[in-house]
Amino acid sequence: MPEHAGPRRPRPDRTSGLRQWAWIGATAVVVAAVVTTLVVVGPWGADRPDGSGTPSGRTVAERKTAAEAFPGGLARQPSAQNQPGIRERAARADGRRDTAEQIARIADQPIATWLTDTSHAETRDTIRSVVAAAERDDATPVFVLYNVPDRDCGNYSRGGTEDDAYLPWVRSAVRAMAGSHAVVLVEPDAIAQIERCDRLRDGRLPLLRKAVDALTGHGLTVYLDGGNENRVPVATMADRLRQAGVDEVQGFFTNVSNFYRVDQERAYADELADAIGGDPHFVIDVSRNGQGWRGTWCNPEGAGLGQDPRVTGGTTRMDALLWVKTPGLSDGTCNGGPAAGQWWESYALALVERRARD
């Protein structure tokens, strides 16, 4: 016996060893099968080109390309819904040709149609009119749902449906849009405003999630409220968007009715998309950001029209630059403006005068 060796150990039972190796082998087979299942059919899919999963295991909708989201490009509103166009025609009728030509710079662009009427019948009529005009041009209409209960938390754009009327209203609108390939922007400010309106914290996100459920599966492209830079911490907004159902839709929108420049908003939107995970896409409102942020969101002096709206080439997560807010409509009774949503001709002409020149 070598020096320092311990007492001799009993010879191992060969039969017991064989049983042990058989057990280890069976366990290895089971583990391998589980791993294979996770790789092949599991929910992760983080490396899949369609972005249909995330490492956290969330199920994420396959995102469309920009061209798929906006087939045929952006549709123009029919004359009955085009508020700047109505004002342009009135100016021409009054013999104010120069004013009409200036307003035409707004009216001739594709502008989103806002749905704010609590009447189901009126809302459906508006949708059908816009969809029919878009179909004639083989282009994509853009709608804005803006009728959530306690809209704008009682501020300038206060209103919306009653609590129990919102989802029936959404479903009614969806029935009119179904199969149209329309783009739908769901409730500007509805998520971002939670940060400053405590009474929205409990009910708003579950309600929006139900609205998302109503919107999906009808051939529509849906974006949720992503706020804008310098408003809500990115991590907070990402969490709220996930709660609202962003994994089920194309992505989110930013800068609606606001004035931040594209490069700033794009940087913010990319950061937000990264925080959400699953590669959500986004669109940016550029209707009035031609002069950038002017110190306030409410009828700021010195603002100008932004770039012409357009669908992007689809090489990034940014699908389109849109005119969501109708230039010339007031933000509210601030800085000398009329009520929110009312036409303000002098402001419209100032926006045209200071428009982006690139």
Confidence check: pLDDT of 272 > 70: yes
27 within domain boundaries:
no
Instruction: Give the residue, 15 or 216, on which the prediction is more confident.
Output: 216
**Catalytic residue status for 189:** yes
Catalytic residue among 225, 247, 279, 331: 331
The predicted model gives 249-256 an average pLDDT of 98
pLDDT score of 55: 53
> Among 13-22, 104-113, 282-291, whose mean pLDDT is lowest?
13-22
45 within domain boundaries:
no
pLDDT score of 316: 96
Which are the contacts of 119, defined by CB distance < 8 A and separation ≥ 6? none
| DSSP letter for each residue of 153-168 | GGSTT-B---GGGHHH
Catalytic residue among 152, 225, 279, 285: 152
8 within domain boundaries:
no
7 within domain boundaries:
no
The predicted model gives 46-74 an average pLDDT of 75
The sign one gets for the Cα dihedral 193, 199, 200, 202 is positive
Confidence check: pLDDT of 17 > 90: no
pLDDT score of 268: 98
pLDDT score of 238: 98
The structure tokens listed for 3 are 């020096």
pLDDT score of 280: 98
The predicted model gives 259-277 an average pLDDT of 97
pLDDT score of 57: 75
25 within domain boundaries:
no
Q: How confident is the model at residue 56 (pLDDT cuts 50, 70, 90)?
A: low
Confidence check: pLDDT of 44 > 50: no
Count of domains observed in the chain: 1
Calpha distance 293→261 (Å, rounded): 7
Nearest CA-CA partner of 83 in 328, 258, 349: 328
Instruction: Give the residue, 118 or 55, on which the prediction is more confident.
Output: 118
Average pLDDT, the chain: 88
The pLDDT tens digits of the residues spanning 304-326 come to: 999 999 999 999 999 999 999 99
Please report, as a single letter, which amino acid is at residue 347.
Answer: Y
341 within domain boundaries:
yes
Confidence check: pLDDT of 32 > 60: no
296 within domain boundaries:
yes
The pLDDT tens digits of the residues spanning 158-215 come to: 999 999 999 999 999 999 999 999 999 999 999 999 999 999 999 999 999 999 999 9
pLDDT score of 339: 96
Domain region containing 236: 66-353
CATH of the domain at 159: 3.20.20.40
Q: Where are the alpha helices (DSSP H) in the chain?
A: 14-41, 66-69, 83-93, 97-107, 120-137, 166-177, 204-215, 234-244, 262-276, 345-353
Catalytic residue among 150, 189, 247, 279: 189
305 within domain boundaries:
yes
